[in-house]
Amino acid sequence: MIYLLDLFGTAVFAVTGSLAAGRKHMDLFGVVVIGLVTALGGGTLRDLTLGADPVFWISDPTYIFVAATASILTFAIARFREFPSGVLQVADAFGLAIFTIIGAQKALGFGTAPVIAVIMGIMTGVVGGMIRDILSGEIPLILQREIYATASLSGAVMFVALSRLTPNERLNISLAVLVTLGLRLAAIRWKLSLPVFPSMAPKNHDR
């Protein structure tokens, strides 16, 4: 069940990555690379830092097939019609929630401290999108605005906290997904955002 959700999140992230690549007028190969990186980048960095050798998509190439297929389909379909951005945002929020829980869960399985499990959850959820933005020549969006990573953080904290209280994993996962999903959808709906760094340094802007 969680495996199927994971593959669903992989496909969704590959689609959002491919669309971002398309906006930069990349060729087919570029679209597939950005799709793969968006879908697999977070989990890859998580596995590398945790010391999970080899990384998950080498142990199970299904992830590669799902992400590549989603990217190629996006490339093909985008010639004929636009993607509905509302549906995509909700699907992306769902993918974020799933990836966050899976990352935190995997870290706990490695016996890490709770704070590390939270970081691994966020890393799994947001790093793919960050690399996507860097490869597209942009400052990563999640660093600049909107409650995106914060939704991931909240779900990861919830999951790690619940895991210490009860072994009912199915319940813990469901509640943590709801937290991330609810926060993220609320942020989209009401355009919530965190405070921005105060403008502080006219003298420093040329550093």
- Which pair of structure tokens corresponds to residue 154? 């909240």
Q: Does 24 bind a second copy (CB under 8 A)?
A: yes
Among the listed residues 2, 115, 171, 178, the single contact to a second copy using CB under 8 A? 115
Is 202:185 a contact under the CB 8 Å cutoff?
no
| Of 20 and 181, CB closest to a second copy | 20
Q: How far apart are CA 103 and CA 193, in angstroms?
A: 24
Rounded to 5 degrees, φ, ψ at 204 are -95, -10
Among the listed residues 10, 38, 44, 124, the single contact to a second copy using CB under 8 A? 44
Rounded to 5 degrees, φ, ψ at 18 are -65, -40
Q: Does 87 bind a second copy (CB under 8 A)?
A: no
Q: Does 186 bind a second copy (CB under 8 A)?
A: no
Q: Does 86 bind a second copy (CB under 8 A)?
A: no
- CA 199 to chain centroid, in Å, comes to 29
In the complex, least distance from residue 193 CB atom to a second copy, rounded to whole angstroms = 6
Q: Does 156 bind a second copy (CB under 8 A)?
A: no
* Interacting span for a second copy (CB under 8 A) from 1-9, 72-80, 173-181, 184-192: 72-80
Is 181:92 a contact under the CB 8 Å cutoff?
no
